[in-house]
Chains A and B, each alone.
Chain A
Amino acid sequence: RKEVEQDPGPFNVPEGATVAFNCTYSNSASQSFFWYRQDCRKEPKLLMSVYSSGNEDGRFTAQLNRASQYISLLIRDSKLSDSATYLCVVKQGGSYIPTFGRGTSLIVHP
């Protein structure tokens, strides 16, 4: 079983739709969680950190469920410009080495 798992997609949604991705992690010692966005042939860029109580940044909401060991990313009112790959990243306690999921591809169409 991989340490961090994501559905690769692609998720194909119309503009204005709400879409959610999950990411499961296997190591219960995981302590830090992040969502990155990566456009084709570009570097990953931090979208948001994920806090225990959940957090929101505009149209984006991140949640952490420690009991079931997953994090989620919800995108409301999807824009064409949201089309990208979304990478889930997890750090274990006491480690500065992150583990990447394989990424989820999102395509938002007109």
Chain B
Amino acid sequence: DAGVIQSPRHEVTEMGQEVTLRCKPISGHDYLFWYRQTMMRGLELLIYFNNNVPIDDSGMPEDRFSAKMPNASFSTLKIQPSEPRDSAVYFCASSATFASRQETQYFGPGTRLLVL
């Protein structure tokens, strides 16, 4: 399996521009997570999906952030408009159906976003 795939790996944009981050979870995984990591705040959970349905988006910082999962193999995290404080590494992770209480999350390589 190729693991969780994220694109782009790096993104540099200007303040006010729209940014779209993409994620392909591991095939067969029912849960998908979006995280953001910064030096100041560490690793924060933004939103997670179960069977393509958003379950908890309380970590989404504000209305400028939105996430979708149109099918089991694809998710996007969109920031519109972007601001310099959105600069961070954004990780996508997936996990299998919670069955044995030992499910782990598999993280992608992350997208390093810099908003100028």
A and B: partners? no
